[in-house]
Structure formats: C-alpha cells, structure tokens
A and B are shown apart, each in its own frame.
Chain A
Amino acid sequence: MKFEVLMPSLSPTMETGTLTKWLVAAGDSVSIGDLVAEIETDKSTMEVDAQEDGTVLELLVAEGSENIPINTPIAILEIDGDEMSIPASPPPEVVTEAPPKTSEVITEAAPKTPEVITEAAPPPKVEQPHGVSETLRTDVRTALRDAMAEEMRRDEMVFLMGEEVAEYQGAYKISQGLLEEFGERRVVDTPITEHGFTGLGVGAAFAGLRPIVEFMTFNFAMQAMDQMINSAAKTLYMSGGQMGCPIVFRGPNGAAARVAAQHSQDYAAWYSHIPGLKVIQPFSAADAKGLLKSAIRDDNPVIFLENEILYSHESDVPIDEDFTVPIGKARIWQQGNDVTLVSFGIGMSHTLRAAEMLRDIGIDAEIIDLRTLRPMDTATVIESVKKTNRCVTIEEGWPVCSIGNYVSSVIMQEAFDWLDAPVINCTGKDVPMPYAANLEKLALISPNDIVEAVRSVTYR
C-alpha cells in the first residue's frame, strides 16, 4: 500500500517551506517516528518523521527545493497494508476540508458593542434599608473582622492568610482576635512573599478551600498580579468550567496619607478590566460587611478593595449573621433631580461633602454608590441619568482608562439622547502621588473639583 508523506505546516501562518535535507533515500526502510527530512521556513526548522513503518519508494522533491506549498506530497512510502488502521494516504479531504464557518457565525451573533459579561442581572428590588433588622454603630474595621469571623464559623473551608494577619492581629488590625478564635491552622501568617502565597492560595482554592488572602496593601499585590489574573481569573474558562477558584483578595487600596507614590494608588480600574474577576470597593461599614460576606461565599475570585482612611468610619450595621449585600448592585445613596453623581469607595466621602455644598447653591444631586465595579450595575446609572440628564463620575484613581471613562461610554451608548451635557470624570491628577503635603492635596480629588464639574454640566 502506498502512503504519501506531505509537506507539514510549522505554524498557522506558514504557507510554503524549503526542503533543506533528505535524511533517507529511496529504498531505505523506516519505522514510525524515524526522521525522513528536514524542512525550514524563515522562522524555524523542523524534522519530518515517518508516520508509518515501511520502505521509501520515491522522493518527490529534490533537496534544497524552495517554496513547497504545505500539504504537497514530498515522498511515497510502501507500507504494510495489514498493519494499517487508518487509510493509507492521509486523505487530502481532511486537509482541505472547509473549516466550519465559525467566523461567520460569530459575526452574526456578535452584539454591536462588545458584550461585557455581567451576571444574570439581580432582580431589580429596592434594597432593604438597614433598619429592617437590628443594627449596631460599627466602624469599617470591625465590620470586616466580623464578616470574616462569621463566615469562618459558618464554613470550615474558609481560612485567612497573609502577612501579619495572625500574631500581629493584622497590619491594620482587621484580623484582630481571629487567631485566638480559629487557631493557626485557619489564620496563617505568611512570609513576605506576595507572588508565592497568592499562587499558593489559588492552588488551595482549586483544591476546594476558600482562602481569604490579605494583602498588607494592594500596592504589594503588583508582585502577585500574574497569579491573580492568569491563574485565578482565567482558569475556569480555560478548563471549560471545571476548575473554579473561590478566593477573596482583600486589603487596603488607594492613597493613605503622606506615604508617596509607591504606597498610594487606586487599583479599581486595573482589576475591573479583567473578565473572570469580581471587583468590590465598599464605602459604608454595612456594605463592607455585607459585601465581604457575599465575596467569601462567592465561587469566583473576588478583589475586595478597602481603604485605610475609611477603616475608622462608622455606620449602622445589621447584626443579623445572615445579613449580606448582593454583589453587582449599586446603591442609590440619595435621590435627586438635577445631576447624577456616580462614585464608589473613598470617592463617596468627597461626593457626599460636595453634595452638601451643592445643596447650598440649590443643586439637588442624585448620588449612586456603585459598590461593585465588576459586574457593574450600569442599569441603575442609566435609569438615573434618564431622570437627571447629567452625570459626573468621581474616583480617586487616574484619569486614563478610568472607571469613569467606562461609565461615560455606557451612558453614551445607552442614554445619549437623554444627555443635556457631556459627562465629566473627576479623578485624581495624572501624576504619581507626591509626598509634599501641599502637592499631595492637589493631586487628590476634592469636593471642590466635584462642585466645579457639576456647575459646568448644569450650566450654573
């Protein structure tokens, strides 16, 4: 039986190649796996192996021949027919088989604007005011600690790891008392080794545990970025849904005070870019608690961005152990008619102060706390903008490719006809954080910036 050896393709872009060398001659006998020829393209060299046991009958192209199209027969083998379990000549139909017309199908199905993955939208119910159950005045620090403690009591698989989380009680005292209650098996002090312990946490999550990984601050998570994105966020997809990664990465994010450029940065926009991650940045203590509990219960990797300056801020927090706040749901902090202010995290402090100043000049602002940045509750924003016809976004991070940029783009696509003014993004200044007190103040957003922006979109 005759068997054709074809010119192979070395890469998806290769069309032709050079046969640099024959390693066999007519009459030679070859076994499966034996090398028969060497071929070359501008990029690479590869050896062609015998796909069957047999004898070389004929070499069809001369050594040194250039520009041989892929799939051209280059040699003929005589092989033992009885041993065969596949047809002798690799059927050219297989090779030339029209590829299924996937690209067409995709173009048809593709939405006009790139689809952003959000969870099935949660039912649009107005959030229960916190007065439903009994509440206690609590600061964000305690709220976060309580959230972790409650979830650790509830689920043995939950554990906390990070630098100084155990004996030291947390660099910012968030894990106070946890070592005492849960012991060193579940509250694990790590070496200063962000890349390593983040990967280790991801592996533990693959194996079914539910790690909470604390970063002393998110500035240091830069060293672990690869594990968070390439390993934690993408593996569910790459495994066709098999390998989930239920893990929470949490810690303070954003500018503290006078710690300069390497210790003052808001990563909201960075992580929000990544499909596969959920990103939360709470403002109030109640949201901090309710969202952290939801994050720990969630089966996906969640980035939970806290803020050092907010740790001691207090609000009424439900004491009910079953209290949670749904991920992916914004909160209308204050109703208003003249302009929509969209913010999150520490940006909310500035926004609330600005709203008071605006009230004094007769501007009635509607305030939306996004709370979750991915999946983002843009529906609530759009609904509000259709009422106020104006929008200003407020965040601490930098202006280029910011959260505000994304919100603006959604508004433009979904509520363009309702806008009476361009959307303005109030952000931190486009510089590394300076140390000098006066410069630092200038680099951060201020309530005044917000008031200015609102005056400009309301033409007052």
Chain B
Amino acid sequence: MPERQPLPSRPAPSSRRRFGRRTWTDLGLQSGALVLAFLLTSVILLVAGAPPFQAYVEIAKGAAASFTDISNVLVAWVPLLLASAGVLVTFAAGLWNIGVEGQIVLGAVLTTWVLRLLQDTSLPPAFIVVLAIIAGIVGGALWAALAGILKTFGGVNEIFGGLGLNFVATALTLWLIFGPWKRPGIGSMSGTEPFPEQLGLPTVGGERLSLWSLGLGIVAVIAVYVLLERTHVGLRLKAVGLNQRAAFLLGVPTWQYALLAFLLCGGLAGLAGAVQVTGVYHRLIPSISSGYGFLGLMIGMLIAYKAIWVAPVALFFAALNIGSIQLPIVLKLDSTLSGVLQGALVLFVLLVEGARQRYSRRAPSTMVAGPVPGTSPPDDVGAV
C-alpha cells in the first residue's frame, strides 16, 4: 500500500522550524553572511589579479546603467521567481526537487512542440501562445510527477530521480534540435528555427521584457506564499514535510500530497520554460533552462524556505547574473564571477544559519526546539 512508503528525506534538517517569525537578529546575521560572501569573492578577485571594488562597480553598472540593463535583469528575474517559488512548495513537503532544471526544459520542449504544431494553422496567434504556455506547464508538471512517482512507488530518492531526469531532458532537447526539429539544412547549437514574432509574448519598448511574463512570475510567487501560509493544503504539505508518519496518522493522505508538491513545482518550472520560449528566445535552444532551476534551489535554501523573501533575493541574483555579463569585456574577467559570488553567498548563509542554531540553543529564553536529529536529547519518555 503506497500509504506506507518510506519517509521522504528531508531538506536541511533545520527546515523543520523554518516557519516561525524572522527576527531582526536573523536579518543581521544574514547581512553578515552577505558581507562575508563579498569578502571571499574579493579575495578570489585579488588572487586573480583584478580590482574587486571596480568589479562590483561594473556589475552594478551592468545591471542598472540603462533601461535595457534593467529590463534584462527583469527578464532573468521571471524564471528565477517561478523556479524558486516552485521549489518552495517541494521544500515545504520535505522534498529536494533537484529535477526542477529538467522540468523547465520539458516545459520549454512542450511549448515549442505546440507552437510548431499550430504555427501554420489559422488559429489566432494569442490563442496558440496561451495553449503553448499551458502545454509547457503540463510538461513541467508531468516531468516532476515522474520523479514523484519514481519516489513514491519505486522507492527512488527524488534527488537521484531528479538528476537522472535532468540528463534525459537535456538529451531530449539536443536530439530534438539536431534531429526532428532541426533548422532547414543543418541543425545547430543556436537552436530550432525561430517562431514568427506574433507567436511570442508582447514585449515592452523594443526590449525582451514582457509584462505578461513579469505578471505571471509575480502572481506565481504570491500564489505560493498564500498557499503555504494561508491554506490547509499548505499546512498539510508542511505536516508531510516535517513528519510524514505522524501526518499520515493524523489523517493527511501523505503520498498524494507529496505528489501534489511535485506537480505544483513542476508546473511552475514548466511555466518558466514556456516563458523562456515564448518571451525570450522564441525558439528551443540547447540550454534553455540556463541553470535557473539550480539557482532557484539555491535561493530556496538561502531564504530558509520563506516565500516572502523570494522576490527580492531572486531579483538580487538576477541582477548579479546580468551585471556580470559585461565583466569579460571590461575587466577581462570571466562572467562566471557572479556564480562564485552566488555560491559563496549560499554557503555563508547556511554557515551562519548553522551557527545561529548552535548559538540559540545556548542563548537564554530562546526556543530550544532542537529537533535536529542527534543533537538534542529526546524527551524523557518521548519514545520507547
């Protein structure tokens, strides 16, 4: 009976009581982590022989110097918003949806498929685009469901399932781009034949930014926030994430909720893929997900699974990404510098969080919840 499936492995153990109120001390600690991350990156820059301060100035300029820059940041913001909102749902249910990357890809693939299928019909273009986006959502959700089913019924840990499915998704895109969907003549890494302009989302002022996708991203984040904080579905997802056995005994249909979390996350990831195709690239390209899925997972960890922080943190990451594009030209630095900074940031935030928990177990009048397995004594008669 699937109701007796093994417990889902939990994300970071501390996620268990991440639903409390964030205090000012926490904020102070997080800013400390930010400073440390910049320090570490500066050291790396110095070692590489580049002036750190100038590099940061260049990043800031690259992200906000012109309307184009700002709109590019927003363009990168949308898929990040969607991916991180999605992983929050799976995190809440205690699941590491590593497969989010592949779910973005599948969203893009299905969107492309529907666009290709319908582009020569006489249907109104707007209708085709809407259908294509829905197909993208479905594609992402199904790909996630696959990871979920592998886990629930096949006993495959979602991390391994997700990783495998990511590879399959990448292979699938490459095959499509160089095989059945290749451009007339030769297939190339630049992707499939671009769709006509009317089959894309309308953009603002000649930039790649579409208010539609921006709206979708923001609505998704708000919806996830409301879902997790204000609804019974969210509460049950958290219950499943925190203690699956007890949730089941208290009457929560656990595997169904785990699957639901996958579906929701996959749907949002698929939407991200659909937006990349219809709003940004207007075709399927080999690296359509651009690592936004993994970045979304990082953001999820960084913000300690609190939906309210998705928007600003994702914006910061988007700005870093776009801002550092100019680095190779100006400072002869690799643009992956933003990756270093982001990685350092996540590491330091997790480190500071670990330290905070250690500290708070000591500090007077702080909650000593101590559910981190093995670090706190069970209650006297807790278990026999």
- Bound together: no
Interface residues of A (CB under 8 A from B): none
